[in-house]
A = this chain, B = another copy of it.
Amino acid sequence: MPSYKAPVEDVLFLLRDVLHIERMGNLPGFADMTPDFIEAVIGAAATFCEKVLQPLNQVGDRDGCRRGADGTVTTPVGFKDAYRQYTAGGWVAIAGDPAYGGQGLPFILATIVNEFSASANMAFSMFPGLSQGALATLLSHGDEKLKATYAPKLMSGEWAATMNLTEPHCGTDLGLLKTRASPRDDGSYAITGQKIFISGGEHDLTENIIHLVLARIDGAPAGTKGISLFLVPKVMAGADGTLGMRNALSCGSIEHKMGIHGSPTCVMNYDGATGWLIGEANKGLAAMFLMMNEARLGVAIQGLALSEVAYQNAVAYAKERRQGRALTGAKEPDAAADPIIVHPDVRRTLLAIRAFNEAARALILWTALKGDIAHRSEDPAARQKAEDHLGLLTPVLKGVLTDLGFEGTVKAQQVFGGHGYVSEWGMEQFVRDARIAMIYEGANGIQALDLVGRKLPRDGGRALTAFLTEVQTFIRENADEADMKAYTGPLQQALEHLQQATLWFMQNAMTKPDHAGAGSYDYMHLFGLVGLGFMWAQIAKAALASCAEEGRAAAMQAKLTTGRFFMERMLPETAVHLARISAGAESVMALPADLF
């Protein structure tokens, strides 16, 4: 049975030594972020995730969610009690607006908690994750009455939420959606249509579920310009939160799927259900994208989270399992065989996962901090810069961290040999659970298109320029340090690849957009590698600065070694991505569809 220990030490190292969170004291709400306070919050989250959520992960996978003939959905044994404890701890709204009952803590703390809970039990963590996303949308776009009625209940976790975008014939292309919203005299709308792939569409954890539903108001324009966003509760609620009648919506079925069995994926039928407009009519997509962006970051975290827990278990197995001898002679001659962690190929496998995990965590926390700046800073220039960063990095994080996180789980499973394929050991569940993160909230190919087609050109490339400049400045400022050369050298090379790829798009893709489409996926991964490499360079700098401190030498040396592994063996992949991008669209587009 797999185990999990939240990486508290690593998080504290990143916050303190890499992100220097103590320098953020002038950001509203950050003055209280003392090391002790942060440690207390993170420690409590770690304990809860390790002791309560993780033990339910395998049983949740095995038993799954069950839909009764009456349309009710039962979550796995133990989920209800764990959810009660989770909400009692105030974890749902850790970063929520205190005006509605949230704890008002920085987004970066919520991000840390989300990593821990997704590692411990990804399927479970989706329930509060959806509430967080819905709250962001509701508070930004909803009117006061909607906010007052629904936000406190979502913050407390008494009610849960969903996002309803996909329909049987449309997922990526929401312009095709058919769900209708007919205005009623009382200002509400009658919502009619079918939505699919609705995570948490029906369950027994909460007494009410608040559905955010995209639909088309009667007479609205076709395509994406005629889509509005509605709040549709499962049970009608008074302004004071008292529950009334069931609304005209139901869960028609739940999907049998590859993983995340503890999270019900529902077909939702709306049969003239009562809903209220959130934000402006026909501007629903923009409002939903706020939720999507938050959700995309949450999905990126899932990629890291599963890679992390898979790594931990692979390491434990590699230290325990004995097969063969070290190539340089027996390490433990008195035992029948050496532990397999002596074998270079096992170490290579483990280090590849770890070198990803630690940089991915840094990239996520760095971006989460930008989220706090974007929301909290009183300096408009700082806010704009942080918004630029978020917009640019969100598709990269979602696409790259879920791809590489999935690969991490596959690699970790491989360390177990045949036992990795057997359900009992839990490794194959990590692979199955991690796989969805590459698909939902916009399949990774869509993230790549978002990055190349929208985020790069936006505002004359301002966000990209700022990012490239920041990396280049760091390299320049540290290039003279002898101990940093092993990091800044490869990073410089990778940065140049990213610059060349960008230039190639500018020169070739403006007139032939297929060149952008054919290279977008590689560009996203090239960008992601530069981002991860930038994190490793900063981690190395912090490790060099701290390795003389008492008791830290070993841990800091581990950082420096893992970072070198990344620079030598993973970052050079940027060259292949650049080669693919520069190859252009010709061989990709040449084949007529009927010859595939």
List A residues at the B interface (Cβ < 8 Å): 166, 169-173, 175-176, 196-197, 255-259, 265, 315, 318-319, 322-324, 327-328, 336-337, 339, 341-351, 354, 406, 410, 413-414, 417-418, 420-424, 428, 431-432, 435-436, 438-440, 443-445, 448-449, 512-514, 516-518, 520-521, 554-555, 557-558, 561-562, 564-565, 568-569, 572-573, 575-576, 579-580, 583, 585-593, 595-596
Contacts and interface: CB of A to CB of B under 8 A. Distances in A.
Q: What's the number of copies of this chain in the assembled complex?
A: 2
A582 to B, nearest CB: 9
A555 B343 CA distance: 47
Contacts of A173: 322-324, 337
A593 B555 contact: no
Contact of A587 (B258, B517, B564): B564
Given A564-B587, A589-B344, A596 B349 contact: no
A596 B443 contact: no
Contacts of A583: 568-569
Given A414-B444, A588-B348, A596-B318, A431 B435 contact: yes
Report which residue of A341, A345, A422, A440 has the largest number of chain B beta carbons within 10 angstroms of its beta carbon. A345
A174 to B, nearest CB: 9
Contact of A517 (B170, B319, B327, B339): B327
Contacts of A516: 327
30 contacts: A169-B322, A172-B323, A173-B337, A176-B322, A196-B418, A258-B423, A258-B432, A327-B514, A328-B512, A343-B517, A344-B514, A344-B517, A345-B517, A346-B445, A347-B588, A414-B438, A417-B439, A418-B440, A432-B432, A554-B592, A557-B595, A558-B595, A561-B591, A565-B587, A568-B579, A569-B579, A569-B580, A569-B587, A572-B575, A573-B576
Top 4 nearest A-B pairs (CB, nearest first) are A344-B517, A173-B323, A258-B428, A568-B583
B172 A596 contact: no
A516 B557 CA distance: 24
